[in-house]
Amino acid sequence: MNTSFFDVNNGFEKKFSFVHEKNWTLPSEKLLFKEPLWTLESLMFMKKELNDTKSLLNDKGEQWQEHTARINPAKLVINFIRDRIQPEILTQAWCKFYEILSNYRLIPEEAENFKSLHLCEAPGAFISALNCYLCTNHSAIHWKWFANTLNPYYEGINVNDVVCDDRLLFPTIKHWYFGQDDTGDITNPKFSKDLNDFMGEKYFFDLITADGSVNCTENPAEQEETVSELHFAELLVALHNLSPGANFVLKKFTVFECNTICKMYFLNCVFKQVHVFKPFTSKSGNSEVYVICLGYVGIETLNAYLTRVSETYRSMKSKAMFPLEAIPESFMLQLQECASLFVEQQKKTITENIHLYSIPFANYSLELREVQRLCAAEYLKRCHIHRNMIFDKLFPFENQIVSNFHDKNNRNLRTFRFQAIGEVFENLEKSKSMSRQDVILDVDKRMNKCFPLEEKRHLEDEEWCLVPKDIINKMRTKGYSKWLLVGKKISFIQNSKFCNPMLLHLWNRISYDPQVEFRNYLPTACCYWDINSLSSLILENCFPEDFCIISEAQINEASEDDPALNKLKETFKKVFSCNFSSLEGQETDFPKQNRIIYINCTSWIKSLHQEIFIKHCLADILSKVIKFMNLGDSIIICFQSLLTRYTNGLLYMLLSLFEKVIFSLIL
C-alpha cells in the first residue's frame, strides 16, 4: 500500500497564495469582451493530462462511488465532530467551511456587527458552520445573515440540479431570498437588481460565500466551461454587494480556460489578497477548490466597470473578458504554478484510488482505519473543536422538520440519490440508448433499492386521516393575503415538497413516454373501506335519504365510469349533476340543505400529469362552489396528485371552511 497517499500533514496544506505585483491592474473597460477566446498551451496540456486520468473512471459503475467513499481519509471527521458538538446540520460542506474559517481571517477581530450573504447555499451548512465559529470565537459580535439557493420548493427545477434537503432552510425561511421569479436562480439577469431591492440600496455585506456548482456528469471533461456562467453570476452578485474591505469565498474547479483565467485576474485586481485552498475535507479526487479573497476595494471604484461586465458577459460567451496581452506575465506564471499544484494532487489521488480498487479491501482496511482516525483527530486539533464549545442554535431543534428527502433507513443521502438516479458517467451513457422495456426494468430495480417492499403501501390498509380540530382552528387564524407568490411559470413538475423527489424522478422517467396511454391507467376500483368510512363520517346521526349528491356534469368519456361516484350512489340515492363552472348563473332545483358536492378533477384532462394543467380551472370551480354551498354542506374532491404548492395551498385554505376533514385514497 502506498503510504504517501495517507500523508496526514500534506492533506491539510493544499494551499496557494498569489503574490500581488504593482502592475496587476484592471484593463480598460474598452477592452472588455472585444477579443476572441484565447488559450495557453501549457494549461491546455494540463487539462488534457487531467482529463486522460479522469477518463480512466468512465467505465466505473456505482460501486466506484462506494469505494471512494470508503477509502476517503476524511471519512471519520463528521463522526468525530458529532461526538463533540451537535450543530443544526453537519455535512461535508460544514466541515469544509469550518476548515476555511480556521485557516483564513474572514471575520474582523474587533467587529461589533457582522453581515454575511451565502449564495447557492442549500442545505445551509456554511451558515451553520459560521454560526458555530462566531459563537465560539467572536461571541460578542452581532450577526445578520441572508442566503440564496435554487428554491427546493419550486416545482419546475430538476431534482438533479436542486438540493432538496430543507432541514435548515425551512425553520429559517425568512432569511432566504429566491428572486422575483421564485426559482432562486442567480444566473437570471434580473437577480442582482432584485436582491438589491430586497436588501435595500445601502445594505452591504462583510462576507459573501458562493458554493455553487452544476451537475457535470454528462460532460465531465468540460466541467470548468459548464459552471462558467454560474461562477460569473456569483462573482458579480458578490462584487455588487460587498462592503469595502470585505471578504469573498468562491468555489471553483480547474483554471484552464480563458475566462476562468480572466476572472482570477479580476479578483486579484479588486482584492488585496487572493488564496486558493483545497480543504482536507474536500474529496481529493475531484477538482474542487475554494478561492479566498480578502480586502475588497469597494463598489465605489468599480461601479461602472461591473455594470459593463454585467451587461455584456451573457451575450459574449465567445469573447475573452480581457485580451491575453492585458494580463501580466507575472500573473500567468503564478496561475500556472497554482493550476499545476492542484492538478498533480488530483491525478495522484485518482491513480491511487484505481490502484486500491484492484486490491481486496481486507488487505489494507486496518491501516486505512487508523489513518482515518488520525486525520479526524488532526482536523479537530487544527480547527479547535472540542466538547466544551458553547454556541447558540440558529433555531430551536423542535422546529426542525423531517425533510421529504429524509431516508427512513438512514442511508447516506448521496448514496440514496445515486441509487435512485444512478448519476455516474457509465449509467448516463447507457440511458441514452435504453429501450422502453429497459427503462421500466431500470426504474423497477431502483425502486426496489430506494423504496423496499416493506416500505410500500399495503392497499388493504385503512388509508385515511382525520385532520385534528386544533389544526383546523389554527388554519382559520392564518392571514392568507400574504401567501400569494408570483414566479416563473411551471410547465413540468420535476420536484415537489409533498413527495420524495427521488420517487417523483422515477415516476417521470416511466410516465413521460409516448408509449404510455392515459386510458390504460384510469382508476378502475376504489378503496371501499375509505368510501364507507367517509359516508359514515358524513351521516353520523342522519340518514342517507336526508342527503343528496351533486356532481359535475359528464365532461368526457373518462368520467363515464367513476368508481368512487358509483360507490357513493349506492349509499346516497339522490344524485344530481350540473356545470360547476357556471353555477352562479344557473337556476337549480337542488335541495338547499345537506348537499354533498362531488368534484372529480381526474376526469378533466386525459393525462397522467393533470395537476399542472388544471390549476386555474380548479381555483375557478372551487371559488364558485364555495359560494354555492350552504351551512352543513360537504364536499368531496378527487385529485390525481397533490404535488404543487398551488394545489396544496388551495386545499389548505379550503380545509379551514369545514368542521371535519378526511383524507382518503382512491386506487
Give the CA distances from residue 31 to residues 262, 321, 445, in Å, rounded to whole numbers and listed in that order: 12, 8, 55
Per-residue confidence band for 462, with pLDDT thresholds at 50, 70 and 90: very low
Range 621-632 average pLDDT: 89
pLDDT at 287: 94
Summarised one tens digit per residue, pLDDT across range 296-309 is: 999 888 988 998 99
pLDDT at 150: 96
Which residues, in sequence order, are CB contacts of 507 under 8 Å at separation 6+?
none
- Rounded Cα distance between 443 and 429, Å, is 16
Minimal CA–CA distance to 211: which of 317, 86, 151, 123? Answer: 123
pLDDT at 521: 60
Per-residue confidence band for 182, with pLDDT thresholds at 50, 70 and 90: very high
Pairing status of strand 113-119 against strand 142-147: parallel
Catalytic (active site) residue 251? yes
Per-residue confidence band for 577, with pLDDT thresholds at 50, 70 and 90: confident
Summarised one tens digit per residue, pLDDT across range 184-214 is: 999 998 998 889 888 876 679 999 999 998 8
Please tell me the least confidently modeled range out of 82-86, 320-324, 522-526. Answer: 522-526
Instruction: Answer whether residue 6 shows pLDDT above 80.
Output: no
Per-residue confidence band for 114, with pLDDT thresholds at 50, 70 and 90: very high
Give the CA distances from residue 651 to residues 605, 623, 635, in Å, rounded to whole numbers and listed in that order: 20, 12, 12
- Rounded Cα distance between 551 and 548, Å, is 10
Higher-confidence residue of 115 and 88: namely 115
Q: Binding site membership: which residues?
A: 124, 143, 211
Dihedrals φ, ψ of 93, to 5°? -65, -40
Q: What are 268's three cell numbers?
A: 486579484
End-to-end CA distance of the chain: 57
- Rounded Cα distance between 405 and 617, Å, is 31
Summarised one tens digit per residue, pLDDT across range 590-607 is: 787 788 899 888 878 777
Q: Sheet containing 15-17: give its strands across.
A: 15-17, 271-277, 289-296, 242-252, 205-210, 113-119, 142-147
Per-residue confidence band for 402, with pLDDT thresholds at 50, 70 and 90: low
- Rounded Cα distance between 529 and 449, Å, is 31
pLDDT at 489: 92
Q: What are 490's three cell numbers?
A: 411551471
According to DSSP, the residues that pair with 550 across neighbouring strands are 576, 597
Cell numbers 469597494 correspond to 298
- Please report which residue ranges of 200-328 form alpha helices under DSSP H: 223-226, 228-241, 258-270, 303-312
Summarised one tens digit per residue, pLDDT across range 236-277 is: 999 999 999 999 999 999 999 999 999 999 999 999 999 999
DSSP states along 54-67: HGGGTT--HHHHHH
The amino acid at residue 69 is A
pLDDT at 4: 46
Summarised one tens digit per residue, pLDDT across range 377-388 is: 999 999 999 998
Query: What's 271's DSSP letter?
Result: E
Per-residue confidence band for 579, with pLDDT thresholds at 50, 70 and 90: confident
Mean of all residue pLDDT scores within the chain: 85
Minimal CA–CA distance to 644: which of 236, 154, 93? Answer: 154
Per-residue confidence band for 481, with pLDDT thresholds at 50, 70 and 90: low
Percent of the chain scoring above 90 in pLDDT? 47
Per-residue confidence band for 518, with pLDDT thresholds at 50, 70 and 90: low
pLDDT at 63: 83
Active-site residue identified among 115, 251, 252, 497: 251
Per-residue confidence band for 117, with pLDDT thresholds at 50, 70 and 90: very high
Instruction: Answer whether residue 86 shows pLDDT above 60.
Output: yes
Minimal CA–CA distance to 349: which of 283, 414, 289, 426? Answer: 283
- Rounded Cα distance between 167 and 545, Å, is 50
Range 456-482 average pLDDT: 61
Cell numbers 376533514 correspond to 661
Whether residue 389 contacts residue 81, with contact meaning beta carbons closer than 8 Å, is answered with: no
pLDDT at 605: 78
Summarised one tens digit per residue, pLDDT across range 319-353 is: 999 999 999 999 999 999 999 999 999 999 999 99
Around Cβ 336, how many Cβ atoms within 10 Å? 16
The amino acid at residue 369 is R
Give the CA distances from residue 457 to residues 256, 451, 665, in Å, rounded to whole numbers and listed in that order: 51, 10, 11
Instruction: Answer whether residue 233 shows pLDDT above 80.
Output: yes
Summarised one tens digit per residue, pLDDT across range 26-68 is: 999 999 999 999 999 999 999 999 999 999 988 877 788 889 9
pLDDT at 459: 45
Q: Sheet containing 574-578: give its strands across.
A: 574-578, 548-552, 595-600, 634-638
- Rounded Cα distance between 167 and 94, Å, is 14
Pairing status of strand 662-664 against strand 634-638: unpaired
Q: Binding site membership for S-adenosyl-L-methionine: which residues?
A: 124, 143, 211
Q: Which helix (H) or strand (E) holds 103?
A: helix 92-103
Give the CA distances from residue 257 to residues 236, 320, 339, 456, 617, in Å, rounded to whole numbers and listed in that order: 19, 10, 11, 49, 50
- Rounded Cα distance between 633 and 592, Å, is 9
Residue 196's SS3 state is: helix
Q: Give pTM, 2 decimals.
A: 0.88
Angle at 654 between CA 179 and CA 577, to 5 degrees: 125
Summarised one tens digit per residue, pLDDT across range 527-567 is: 544 667 777 777 776 788 888 988 887 655 555 577 778 88
According to DSSP, the residues that pair with 411 across neighbouring strands are none
- Rounded Cα distance between 169 and 176, Å, is 8
Whether residue 558 contacts residue 522, with contact meaning beta carbons closer than 8 Å, is answered with: yes
Per-residue confidence band for 475, with pLDDT thresholds at 50, 70 and 90: low
- Rounded Cα distance between 73 and 94, Å, is 17
